[in-house]
Amino acid sequence: MEQKLVALSGNEAVAYAFKQARPHVAAAFPITPQTEMMHKYADFVANGESSTEMILVESEHSAMSAAIGSAAAGARTFTATSSAGFALMWEVVYIAASLRLPICMALVNRALSGNINIHCDHSDSMGGRDAGWIHLFSENAQESYDNAIMAWRIAEHMDVRLPVMVNYDGFIISHTADALYMLPDDAAWKFIGKYNPAYTLLNPEKPITVGPLDLTDYYFEHKTSQLAAYEKAPAIIQQVSDEFAELTGRRYGFAEEYRLDDADLVMVLLGSSAGTCKDVIDQYREKGVKVGLLKLRTFRPFPAAYLAKVLGGRKAVCVLDRSASFGGQGGPLFMETRSAMYGLQVPVHGYIYGLGGRDFDLRQAATVIENLQKVAAGGELKDINLLGVRL
């Protein structure tokens, strides 16, 4: 498949990807660093390149509410937000998943207040990790674009019917111009396909009720149907990734395994920091250190069985979280990974890094690898460590 090489920011790339899905409705409210994405999409609508109905609302809570109403009516729908905007959506984020509405959302990752901070970390996404959405993470603009294309196929599959959020790091990806390959519009549309809603509010022959009072007699059963959809989602994510690889040559699945074949030491993380780690891993490989990277793309549903298979038999593993779980036993990714590794007899420790956009540099990545070597040699390290912070 011939693809066009372009230079776009992550926000622009995702706007193009969503346009290629020909959505019926976009619910928009600006918040940094997401704003540029919806600005670009508004340009498409104003220029006649898209027939999407843009609903300009007064808050992020209203944006998700409008998206829910639109999707329940049978429209292909998307929205976007960041940080406090996502927090303001909180009530209705759960409702979107509970109603099994295949909404797609760009979540441009930004720290949650306080104090007020507009830069990147993953605290917004992790705050909603149990809301029932599928979470896809991106390393760069290319992956943001690709995830935004695949998100529709995953969300709208009849075995899934769950909303999907495409996560990409605020400013680091959202506002940085990067080279990426973009599918022709007709090829992207053929891959995504026409939306076939499971039901619509607008069919008087088959009237339905959406969001009724759900008490002790049926609530548990409805939650069980969500759990069942989550159990089916991994197979669909893999299937869509395989089909996308056939189309583009870019293969994703649940994670990227970078120099893992013979790795004794493994770093596990999400997002743009993977690029920094890859550079440092290459440097240590030249020194003969067998270190590799497992960059997760899918955080929800969490691919526990896959991680156990990939990380078993290693000498040491570290997990890097760009968020903190206050009062928990480490960051969210660390807790999930350690649980998946239960019984493997592989030492695993965690780092919390990069909060509020604190730079993650080559020296910090090197420190992690040095500590991995010490642990593999029998040394001790705290379960949870802070990286790049002034103490």
| pLDDT of the residue at 391 | 82
Of the three residues 186, 215, 248, the one that is the final residue of a domain is 248
Report which secondary-structure segment, H or E, holds 221.
Answer: helix 219-248
Specify whether 268 is located in the same domain as 242. no
DSSP 325: -
Say whether both 193 and 306 belong to one domain: no
pLDDT for 230 equals: 96
Is 197 in the same domain as 274? no
Are 237 and 374 members of one domain? no
E strand or H helix at 271: none
Both 297 and 221 in a single domain?
no
Q: How do strand 134-137 and strand 298-300 relate by DSSP bridges?
A: antiparallel
Helix (H, G, I), strand (E, B) or coil at 347: coil
Q: In the 3-class helix/strand/coil scheme, how is 174-202 assigned residue by residue?
A: CCCCEEEEECCHHHHHHHHCCCCCCCCCC
CATH number of the domain enclosing 277 = 3.40.50.920
Full residue range of the structural domain in which residue 45 is found:
4-248
pLDDT of residue 200: 85
Give residue 330's pLDDT: 96
Q: Within this chain, do residues 239 and 259 fall inside the same structural domain, yes or no? A: no
Q: Which of 109, 56, 55, 58 is nearest to 87 (CA)?
A: 109
User: ∠ CA(65), CA(117), CA(35), 5° rounding?
Assistant: 45
CA nearest 320: which of 263, 262, 384, 258?
A: 384
- The pLDDT of residue 250: 98
Last residue of a domain, one of 219, 248, 277: 248
Report DSSP letters for 86-103, one per residue.
HHHTHHHHHHHHHTT---
Output the domain CATH number for residue 10.
3.40.50.970
Could you tell me if 263 and 190 lie in one domain?
no
Q: Which residues pair with 384 in a beta bridge?
A: 350
Report helix, strand and coil shares of the chain as percent, to nearest 5: 40, 20, 40
One domain, residues 168 and 259 = no
| Cβ contacts of 343 within 8 Å, gap of 6 or more | none
Report the run of H or E that residue 122 belongs to, with start and end. none
Last residue of a domain, one of 231, 248, 265: 248
Q: Are residues 111 and 236 in the same domain?
A: yes
Q: What is the pLDDT along the chain (391 residues), one digit of tens a residue?
A: 899 999 999 999 999 999 999 999 999 999 999 999 999 999 999 999 999 999 999 999 999 999 999 999 999 999 999 999 999 999 999 999 999 999 999 999 999 999 999 999 999 999 999 999 999 999 999 999 999 999 999 999 999 999 999 999 999 999 999 999 999 999 999 999 999 999 888 889 999 999 999 999 999 999 999 999 999 999 999 999 999 999 999 999 999 999 999 999 999 999 999 999 999 999 999 999 999 999 999 999 999 999 999 999 999 999 999 999 999 999 999 999 999 999 999 999 999 999 999 999 999 999 999 999 999 999 999 999 999 999 8
Q: Name the residue type at position 105.
A: M
Q: Output the pLDDT for position 152.
A: 99
* Overall domain count for the chain: 2
Instruction: Output DSSP code: residue 77.
Output: E
Q: Is 247 helix (H, G, I), strand (E, B) or coil?
A: helix
